[in-house]
C-alpha cells in the first residue's frame, strides 16, 4: 500500500474511523504535515478540526532524543526514563524549554489567529499525524490531550513501525495505523507526493475547517462524469469543495489526460484551498490516436469553451482555466471567445505561442505564465506570446525547473503560484465586463 498524498491518506484513515461519527469528537492535527491528513478526517467525521502544537524537548547534545515535550496552556510532559539515564542540569533543561516554548508560541499565533483552542474535556480527541517514526511527538501529544481533559484518546496515522505502534497503545486508548510496517525507512517513502507543508497551508486549512464546521464527507462533490460537447461526451473528474468560490477547468497537454499526475497534484492543492476543479479530456480515446487532433488548437479551444459553459451552468460558479503545454494555447484561445466569462488563466510550461495572435490580443482574463528557468526555448516562446497579451499578465519563472517541473519542489511551486493567482482574481470583475 502507498498513499497518493496526505489528502488521500486522510480519506483512507477516515474510513477506518467511521465508527466515531456519532460521538463527541475533536480532531487534532500535528503540524505541519499532520494537518492536511487531519483535515480530511475531520471533514469525513463531521467533527471540528484544531491544531495541536507540540514541541519536543531534545537533549542539547542529541536533539532527536526527547526528554519531554511542551504544549499550549503551559502543558509540560517529561520522560522520566530518559532523564534518569542522562546528566542534564536544571539550567540546561530550562534553556531547552524556553527555546521550544518561544517556537511553540510563534506557531500558535500564526495558526490560531486569536482563536481559542477547542475544549477537550469529556470528549474523544483524535490525534492525527502523517506518519510515525520514533513516536516521541505523538506520545507527547496524547499525554497533552489527556492532560487537557479528553475522556478518550485515539491516535490515528497512515503508516508507522510495528514497534512504535505497539508502544503507543500504552498512552492512547486506541491506535489506528493503516500500514504498520517492520522497517519504516522514512515516512515520505510511503507517499507518491510528500512535499513539505508550509505554515500558510496549515493556516488556510484551519480557517476553512472553521468556516465549514459540522459538514461531512458529502459536503465535497467528488465524481467522475462526462461533459456533452457537440456529438461527443468527454470524460472528466469534478471535485467541488463545500463553499467553493469558483471552479478551475484543466486543459491537458499533448499526450496527457485527466489522469495526469502533475495536473492532479496541482488540482489537489487548489481543492485544499477550497477551489473546485474539473480535470477534463478534450479528446476521446479514438480521437487521440490521430496526432493531428492533439495539435488542433482551434478544436481543443472550442471544446474547452463549450465545457466551461456547461461547467458554469452545472455549478453556478465562475470558471477559470489551467492549461499545460498545448492545453495552455487552447485555454487562451477559449478565454478570448465571444461570450467567454473566464476569471483567470494559468499556464504551466505552456505553449501560448500556438494560440492565434489575434486571440491572444483579445484575452481579458488575468493570465499567469509559469515556466521553468531551464526550459529556455519555451521560456522564450512565452515571452513572445506575452508581448501580444493586452490583459493583466505576468511570467513566473521557477528557478532550476525544466519543462515537466520534475525537480524537487518545482511542481509544488507551480501549484502554489496557481492557487495564489486564482484566489487573487476570483473576487474581481473580469476585465471588459459590462462593456
- pLDDT number for residue 300: 94
Question: Of 162, 179, 211, which marks where a domain is finished?
Answer: 211
Dihedral sign (CA 393, 304, 250, 261): negative
- Residue 420's domain comprises 221-425
Same domain, 275 and 400: yes
Domain count, the chain: 2
Same domain, 228 and 188: no
Q: Residue 30 falls within a domain, yes or no?
A: yes
Q: Residue 382 falls within a domain, yes or no?
A: yes
- pLDDT number for residue 368: 98
CATH number at 138 reads 3.40.50.2020
> Does the predicted TM-score (pTM) go above 0.85?
no
325 sits in the region (left: phi over 0; alpha: psi -120 to 50; else beta) called left
Same domain, 418 and 349: yes
Q: In this structure, how many other beta carbons lie within 10 angstroms of the beta carbon of residue 15?
A: 11
Same domain, 173 and 225: no
- pLDDT number for residue 136: 79
Same domain, 190 and 278: no
Same domain, 381 and 232: yes
Same domain, 202 and 65: yes
Rounded average pLDDT per 10-residue block, the chain, 435 residues: 92 92 88 94 91 88 79 76 85 92 89 81 93 85 88 95 93 96 90 89 86 55 89 92 91 77 86 90 85 88 96 94 94 95 95 94 97 96 96 96 89 91 72 39
Q: Residue 434 falls within a domain, yes or no?
A: no
Same domain, 268 and 407: yes
- pLDDT number for residue 83: 85
- pLDDT number for residue 432: 42
Q: Do strands 124-128 and 152-161 pair parallel, antiparallel, or not at all (unpaired)?
A: parallel
- pLDDT number for residue 401: 94
Cα 430 to Cα 427: distance, rounded to the nearest angstrom:
9
- pLDDT number for residue 42: 93
Same domain, 273 and 205: no
CATH number at 310 reads 3.40.50.1820
Q: Residue 216 falls within a domain, yes or no?
A: no
Same domain, 246 and 170: no
Question: Of 166, 187, 211, which marks where a domain is finished?
Answer: 211
Question: Of 186, 211, 236, which marks where a domain is finished?
Answer: 211
> How far is CA 323 from each of CA 234, 250, 428, rounded to the nearest angstrom?
17, 6, 21
Contact 411, 265 (CB under 8 A): yes
Q: Do strands 276-280 and 232-240 pair parallel, antiparallel, or not at all (unpaired)?
A: antiparallel
Amino acid at each position: 500500500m502507498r498513499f497518493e498524498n496526505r489528502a488521500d491518506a486522510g480519506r483512507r484513515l477516515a474510513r477506518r474511523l467511521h465508527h466515531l461519527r456519532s460521538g463527541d469528537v475533536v480532531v487534532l492535527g500535528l503540524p505541519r504535515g499532520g494537518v492536511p491528513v487531519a483535515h480530511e478526517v475531520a471533514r469525513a467525521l463531521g467533527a471540528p478540526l484544531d491544531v495541536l502544537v507540540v514541541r519536543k524537548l531534545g537533549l542539547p547534545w542529541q536533539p532527536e532524543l526527547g526528554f519531554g515535550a511542551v504544549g499550549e496552556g503551559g502543558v509540560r510532559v517529561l520522560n522520566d526514563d530518559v532523564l534518569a539515564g542522562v546528566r542534564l542540569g536544571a539550567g540546561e533543561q530550562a534553556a531547552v524549554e524556553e527555546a521550544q516554548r518561544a517556537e511553540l508560541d510563534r506557531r500558535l499565533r500564526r495558526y490560531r489567529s486569536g482563536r481559542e483552542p477547542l475544549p477537550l474535556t469529556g470528549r474523544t480527541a483524535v490525534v492525527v499525524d502523517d506518519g510515525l517514526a520514533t513516536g516521541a511527538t505523538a506520545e507527547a501529544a496524547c499525554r497533552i490531550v489527556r492532560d487537557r481533559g479528553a475522556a478518550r484518546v485515539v491516535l490515528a496515522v497512515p503508516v508507522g513501525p510495528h514497534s512504535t505502534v505497539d508502544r503507543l497503545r500504552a498512552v492512547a486508548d486506541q491506535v489506528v495505523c493503516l500500514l504498520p510496517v517492520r522497517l519504516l525507512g522514512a515516512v515520505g517513502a510511503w507517499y507518491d507526493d510528500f512535499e513539505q507543508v508550509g505554515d500558510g497551508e496549515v493556516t488556510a486549512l484551519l480557517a476553512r475547517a472553521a468556516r465549514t464546521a459540522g459538514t461531512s464527507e458529502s459536503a465535497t462533490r467528488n465524481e467522475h462524469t462526462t461533459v456533452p460537447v457537440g456529438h461527443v461526451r468527454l470524460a472528466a473528474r469534478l471535485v467541488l469543495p463545500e463553499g467553493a468560490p469558483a471552479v478551475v477547468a484543466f486543459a491537458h497537454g499533448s499526450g496527457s489526460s485527466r489522469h495526469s499526475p502533475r495536473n492532479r497534484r496541482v488540482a489537489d492543492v487548489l481543492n485544499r484551498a477550497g477551489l473546485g476543479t474539473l480535470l477534463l479530456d478534450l479528446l476521446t480515446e479514438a480521437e487521440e490516436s490521430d496526432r493531428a487532433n492533439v495539435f488542433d488548437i482551434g478544436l481543443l479551444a472550442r471544446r474547452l469553451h463549450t465545457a466551461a459553459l456547461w461547467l458554469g451552468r452545472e455549478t453556478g460558479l465562475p470558471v477559470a482555466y489551467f492549461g499545460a503545454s498545448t492545453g495552455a494555447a487552447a485555454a487562451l484561445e477559449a478565454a478570448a471567445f465571444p461570450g467567454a466569462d473566464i476569471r483567470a488563466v494559468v499556464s504551466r510550461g505552456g505553449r501560448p505561442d500556438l494560440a492565434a495572435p489575434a486571440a491572444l490580443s483579445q484575452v481579458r482574463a488575468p493570465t499567469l505564465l509559469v515556466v521553468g528557468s531551464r526550459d529556455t526555448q519555451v521560456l522564450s516562446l512565452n515571452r513572445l506570446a506575452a508581448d501580444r497579451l493586452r490583459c493583466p499578465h505576468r511570467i513566473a519563472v521557477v528557478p532550476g525547473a525544466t519543462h515537466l517541473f520534475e525537480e524537487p519542489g518545482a511542481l509544488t511551486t507551480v501549484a502554489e503560484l496557481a492557487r495564489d493567482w486564482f484566489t487573487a482574481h476570483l473576487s474581481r470583475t473580469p476585465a471588459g465586463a459590462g462593456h
